[in-house]
Structure 1
Amino acid sequence: MKLFQQLLVAPAALGLMAPMAAQAADLNIDGVSDYSAAGEQVTSVSQFSDVYPTDWAYQALSSLTERYGCVAGYPGGTFGGNRSITRYEAAALLNACLDRVTEVSDDVKRLLSEFGPELAVLKGRVDGIEARVGDMAAGQFSTTTKLSGVATFVVGGNAFSGDDAYGKDWNDSNMDDSDPRHAKAGESDGAVSFNYDYKLSLDTSFTGEDLLKTRLRTGNFGSNAFSGSGYVQMAALEVANSNADAIKVDRLYYSFPWGDDFTVTVGPEVRQDDMLAVWPSAYPSDSVLDFFTYAGAPGAYNLANGGGAGISWNSGNFDVTATYISTNAESSNPHTGGVMTEGGGNASSLQIAYTQDSWGLAAAYANTASDNWNAAISGGKGTPLAATVDNIGETNSYALSGWWLPSESGLIPSVSAGWGMNTTDDNDDARGGGNHATYDSATSQSWYIGLEWADAFVDGNDLGFAFGQPTFVTDIDYDTTTRDDDAEDGNYALEWWYKIQVSDNITVTPAMFYLTRPYGDWTDGRQDTHGGDAGSKDSTFRNLGALVKTTFKF
């Protein structure tokens, strides 16, 4: 499109952007588009097949075409003088000619007088837009940074059934049940609670292709039942933050392209998934239980956070990513931290992924050291036994995960699934289950299936359901003659949720979850925290949770 044709269209577009007294239906934008698309500017009014010397505006058109060159016709060499257009369109077209006019003739003055009110309206609207743009520019704190945030309210509680005699703080096997330290599930975590999580993200780009990410986070879940540090660790919610109302920087990294096919990410507070080219799941990352946000493999996708770097390579539908993170990289003591030291919390991973528009598949491998490493599958991602053996030595983890999306929303949901396996070998026999038992090696597994129905019942609302087995020990080798190597650690987790889209920025999500045997092998009284017999307990201990999560995005 030539410059003059662009000038013809621009004022009409500006008139549409500002609030108008006329309705949008009154504006013949198609006519303006046809006019601007006519091709070359005419140099003589005789080039129009439908303009005659007897027409009342013949002289004005002749002057505009031959003296100023700011008139174009419609396709086919016609001017369309009898074609109906609105006064606003005529004013917009005339306004586009004014920049080309150096001498105002009597004919042009006549046209200016005819469309004077419309020109004044257009000018006022353009001035108003310019003023608002100026106010926005003056009010923004940075021309390169975008601020966004998420605030989440959670109201909910837990109920327990079966024998809940096992006390998390039971440090003495001879302790009487009346001792307050011997807390029972209903006594310690049975109340309804009201908590919050708050995140602020600052996304800065210097070139348009790079990203400096800074995220601040706080919350007050603390030792709440939903935090992962309560009576049942697997009841941990993905959204639960335990900063005790203190604001903390939990993301700080820089990502930039390297050549045409590589992306490099480096930072002192970077998480594994920040560096992965592909996250192998379509199931929401902020659903309910924390376990269901790890693509079925909390070992390989351990979401380690700390100082590190990663590089990803893309070739068509294939992506390969390699990452390294030290969870205590800020320490300068090689015995307790640092980068690539024996005392560092080292976590490395490799992912190979293949993706299409509606499905994808990824395989991953991760290696985590035990020294000063927060166990990858502890907290809300595995049984107590799985978390214990995960921390006895170096762990190698493997994962296979994928997803599929339906072509349109309806009865068929999106499907995400994943499986993980972890093998751990004891480093020095110094770790294990307290004073009475030591583990030589162990194998654990996990899996999940997540379903999501988009636009369920009401457009904009989503329904979700997931089930699977959080990490549980499938094979174990005890370094003792008093224990057999049979692990009865199996357990199941299920969650249901329905996200109600109240507005573009507010959602309300009622949810429930059910844990069939969250203590796994420890449920049956096979051992207490020191590896001894914790007493006779029912193998049917279970946990039912219910909550309402309200999310505000801005």
Structure 2
Amino acid sequence: MKLFQQLLVAPAALGLMAPMAAQAADLNIDGVSDYSAAGEQVTSVSQFSDVYPTDWAYQALSSLTERYGCVAGYPGGTFGGNRSITRYEAAALLNACLDRVTEVSDDVKRLLSEFGPELAVLKGRVDGIEARVGDMAAGQFSTTTKLSGVATFVVGANGFSGDDAFASSDTSNPRHANAGKTDGGTVLSYDLQLELATSFTGEDLLNTVLRAGNFGSNGFGGAGYTELSTLETGFDSGDQLKVDKLWYSFPWGDDFTVIAGPLVGAEDMLAVNPSLYGSETILDVFTYSGAPGTYGRPLGGGAGLSWNQGDIDVSANYVSTNASNSNPASGGGLLTEAAGSSAIMQVAYSKENWGVAVAYNYASTDHQNILGGSTGTSLANAVHDIGPTNSYSLSTWWSPAETGLIPTLSAGWGINTVEDNDDRENTTYDSATTQSWAVGMEWEDAFMDGNIFGFAFGQPNFVTEIDYDSSTKDDDAEDGNYAMEWWYKIQVSDNITVTPAIFYLSRPFGDQTDQRQDTHGGDAGSKDSTFRNFGALVKTTFTF
């Protein structure tokens, strides 16, 4: 046998013959002889009476038989396609093919000689890959968990204008004149997120998010003149790494997904994100798809269920922001009146490049993420704790078939009704209605491939109707305001982006702007008072 034949046959022969010594007593010579087709050489698949053109392997058998003549059958002209083959019969089949190897060996040798250098290079690369895979396997900390992270640096400042910029005489108020002199200082802060994604079956997911940040003492974290200047990445933990989220999801049947955990966000349990705007959102208020009342991102203990049927997704979930407190009287427990509860239902219809979603959210009196913080004017933030809140929203999104002058579009609108809680004494408000809306646009590959330009504008939550408890107060609220942001995301490398951005808040105090006394000479209660917030920053993001 020639050298090439030996190289070809040796691995197969060793694999077939290795256990033969241990099984010699079981060798059935007659059975092997039956499979040798010694009577005549099979030259056509038609010689087998049990092989038909409709068989799925007919073409493969035809090629092996007619081109190489190395297919053997059983006595009587049968192939036995559905019969299990023993290792001895496999050896007989291999033996039937050996004589045919010599017909192609010269061609193979010629090819090996001609492409010898290329084959050597490929072998070296394969060896290198195997070595690196081995190193990775030896260094991985878990076979079930993937670690990913995002580190964000933000440098920037806020500026203010208007005759109400120093309107408070309360020195403890950040709007006081002395505070205003330092509130516009340039700051450098960070936000670090580490995500551990663990799967035990390949279909489930245990999600753990560790987070740290130091935005707590500046305007980008909500500690400035107005909380509306809070950034989407403006997280604060006092420089301590903490568990920010912890939840588990798994499929239930073919159409359902279950999510539950002691630290889960309502947005984590929604099957559809109702917006395409979010590649590099700057202000936190624009992360809520124009409806912060509905998509307020409550975080706590809870569970959710989502159902998918083609283009339709239905999600329902419940979160208690006080789930870990065992005393219902102090605002704890699940499903209690003081649990800080949020219950959301969303129905979404989404195609490849567009979609629409409607949602409803019921929030209990002690819910801390509805109509508060960075989501609205001072008056809208103040009324959020009157009592239970019912929020409704409508969202839609669309993207062009190709990138260019036409951007992706996302729009959303929300309305929230707040009713007085009879169990809680409130001497200021009886009820209120607030609304919000936003439009976001993104131009992909703007000015350069990989870069994105974005612009968003809208009105954060503002009071449209209010019923004061006191008959001496005017129920008319002039709470209108506008927010805008512009940003340009520069893709420096696969893992680094730099995003310069600016934003503008036209009247973040809303109706309360006109209720303050201007310490610089304005009239008390003047309807001509103004206050504006302008911010500029550079955000650098590292993903790993």
TM-score range, shorter chain: 0.7 to 0.9
1:235 corresponds to which residue?
A: 229
User: Compared with structure 1, are the counterparts of its residues 311 and 272 closer, same or farther at alpha carbon in structure 2 (3 Å cutoff)?
Assistant: same
Match for 2:267: what amino acid? D
Query: Residue 380 of structure 1: CA displacement?
Result: 1.3
Tell whether 2:344 aligns with 1:349.
Answer: yes
Determine the structure 1 residue equivalent to 2:512. Answer: 522
What is the match of residue 93 of structure 1?
Answer: none
The letter for the 1-side match of 2:473 is: R
CA contact (8 A) 1:159 1:544 kept: yes
In structure 2, the residue matched to 1:134 is 134
State the shift of 1:166 in Å.
3.0
Q: Which residue in 2 is equivalent to 1:403?
A: 397
What's the secondary structure of 1:393's corresponding residue? coil
Is residue 140 of structure 2 the alignment partner of residue 150 of structure 1? Answer: no
Distance in 2 of aligned mates of 1:506 and 1:472:
37
Q: Which amino acid aligns with 1:367?
A: Y
How large is the Cα RMSD of the aligned pairs? 3.0
Question: Which of 360, 374, 393 is the equivalent residue of 2:355?
Answer: 360
Residues 90-101 of structure 1: matches in 2 within 5 Å? Answer: none
CA contact (8 A) 1:309 1:324 kept: yes
Alpha-carbon distance, 1:257 to partner:
0.3
In the alignment, structure 1 residue 322 sits paired with structure 2 residue 312: no
CA deviation after TM superposition for structure 1 residue 539, in Å: 2.7
d(CA) in 2 for partners of 1:71 and 1:245?
73
Task: Encode CA deviations 1:449-494: one digit per residue, 9 max, x unaligned.
Answer: 0000000000000000000000000000001111010000000000
Secondary structure (helix, strand or coil) at the match of 1:226 reads: helix
The residue aligned with 2:190 is 196
Query: Contact conserved, 2:296 with 2:369, CA < 8 A, in 1?
Result: no
For residues 54-73 of structure 1, the aligned pairs below 5 Å read 66-67=97-98
- Structure 1 residues 527 and 264: CA distance shift in structure 2, 3 A: farther
Q: CA deviation at 1:363?
A: 0.2
Deviation at 1:67, TM superposition (A): 1.1
Q: Which residue of 2 aligns with 1:508?
A: 498
What is residue 289 of structure 2 aligned with on the other side?
295
Task: Give 1:135 deviation, angstroms.
Answer: 1.3
Instruction: Tell me which residue corresponds to 1:25.
Output: none
**Secondary structure of 2:401 counterpart:** coil
> Is the alpha carbon distance of 1:394 and 1:65 closer, same or farther for their aligned partners in structure 2, counting shifts above 3 Å?
same
Per the alignment, do residues 68 and 344 of structure 1 end up closer, same or farther by CA in structure 2, a change over 3 Å counting?
farther
Offset at 1:415? 0.2
Q: How much does 1:187 deviate?
A: 1.4
Q: Which amino acid aligns with 2:269?
A: M
Equivalent runs, 1:87-126 vs 2, <5 Å? 87=113, 125-126=125-126
Q: Secondary structure at the match of 1:238?
A: coil
Does the 8 Å contact 1:43/1:69 carry over to 2?
no
8 A contact 1:160–1:185 mirrored in 2: no
Please list, as runs of the form range in 1=range in 2, the aligned pairs for 1:420-431 lying within 5 A after superposition. Answer: 420-428=414-422, 430=424
SS at match of 1:353: strand
**TM-aligned CA deviation for residue 206 of structure 1:** 0.6
CA displacement, residues 219-275 of structure 1 (integer Å, 9 cap, x when unaligned): 011121111232111001000111110111111000100000000000000001100
Question: Which residue in 1 is equivalent to 2:479?
Answer: 489
Contact 2:428–2:470 (8 Å) recurs in 1 = yes
Task: Between 335-344 and 305-314, report the one with greater CA deviation.
Answer: 335-344
| Contact 2:496 2:540 (8 Å CA) reproduced | yes
Letter in 2 for 1:339: L
How far 1:39 moved relative to its partner? 5.0
Tell me, in whole angstroms, the C-alpha distance in 1 between the residues paired with 2:122 and 2:168.
Answer: 75
CA distance in 2, matches of 1:125, 1:509: 38
Structure 1 residues not aligned, in runs of 5+ = 1-7, 9-37, 49-62, 74-78, 90-114, 173-179
Is 1:383–2:358 an aligned residue pair? no
Q: Does 1:259 align with 2:260?
A: no
Aligned residues, how many?
Answer: 457
Per-residue deviation, 1:131: 2.6
Find the aligned partners of 1:309 and 1:349 in 2 and give their Cα distance: 11
Residue 195 of structure 1 deviates from its aligned partner by 0.5
1:364: Cα distance to partner? 0.3
Contact persistence 2:378–2:510 (CA under 8 A): yes
> What is the rounded CA distance, in whole Å, between the counterparts of 1:446 and 1:184 in structure 2?
33
Q: Matches of 2:324 and 2:175 in 1, distance apart? A: 36
Q: List per-residue Cα deviations over 1:499-553 (Å, max 9, x = no partner).
A: 000000000000000000000010012699xxxx976585321000000000000
> Is 1:540 equivalent to 2:511 in the alignment?
no
SS in 2 for 1:308: strand
SS of residue in 1 equivalent to 2:390: strand
Q: Secondary structure at the match of 2:245?
A: strand
- Do the aligned partners of residues 286 and 367 (structure 1) sit closer, same or farther apart at CA in structure 2, a change above 3 Å counting? farther
Quote the residue 2:333 is aligned against. 338
For 1:236 and 1:339, the matched residues in 2 are separated by 30
Amino acid in the other structure paired with 2:413: W
Corresponding letter in the other structure for 2:444: A
Deviation at residue 333 of structure 1 after TM alignment: 0.6
Shift of 1:42: 4.3
Query: What's the CA shift for 1:188?
Result: 3.7
Contact persistence 2:168–2:517 (CA under 8 A): no
Letter of the 2:244 partner, please give it.
Answer: D
Q: Secondary structure at the match of 1:135?
A: helix
2:167 alignment counterpart: 166
Q: Which of 467, 473, 481 lines up with 2:463 in the alignment?
A: 473
Shift in alpha-carbon separation, 1:425–1:121, aligned structure 2, 3 A:
closer
Which residue identity lines up with residue 358 of structure 2 in the other structure?
Answer: A
Could you say if the C-alpha distance between residues 520 and 141 of structure 1 is closer, same or farther in structure 2, counting changes exceeding 3 Å? same
**How far apart are 1:127 and its partner, in Å?**
3.9
1:299-318 matched pairs, under 5 angstroms: 299-318=293-312
Q: After superposition, give the CA deviation of every residue in 1:319-348 in whole Å (9 maximum; x if it has no partner).
A: 100010000101101112111112211110
Aligned counterpart, 2:218: 224
Whole-angstrom CA distance in 1 between matches of 2:203 and 2:314: 20
In structure 1, C-alpha distance between the alignment counterparts of 2:335 and 2:194, rounded to whole Å: 31
Check conservation: 1:452, 1:462, Cα contact below 8 A.
yes
Q: Distance in 2 between matches of 1:147 and 1:341?
A: 37
Q: Is the 8 A contact 1:286 1:293 kept in 2?
A: no
* Residues in 2 aligned to 1:168 and 1:237: alpha-carbon distance in whole angstroms: 28
Q: Equivalent residue of 1:329, what SS?
A: coil
Query: Between the two proteins, what is the percent identity of the paired residues?
Result: 61
**Mapped partners of 1:238, 1:71: distance in 2:** 71
Distance 2:169 2:434 in 1: 23
Q: What's the CA shift for 1:171? A: 6.4
Distance (Å, rounded) in 1 between the aligned partners of 2:385 and 2:113: 77
Relative distance call for 1:361 and 1:67 in structure 2 (3 A) is same
Matched, 1:453 2:443: yes
Instruction: Please list the CA deviations of residues 59-94 of structure 1 after superposition, one character each: whole Å capped at 9, or x if unmatched.
Output: xxxx99941666999xxxxx99599957475xxxxx
Q: Which residue type is aligned with residue 370 of structure 1?
A: T
TM-score (normalizing by structure 1)? 0.77
**For 2:542 and 2:144, how far apart are their aligned partners in 1?**
24
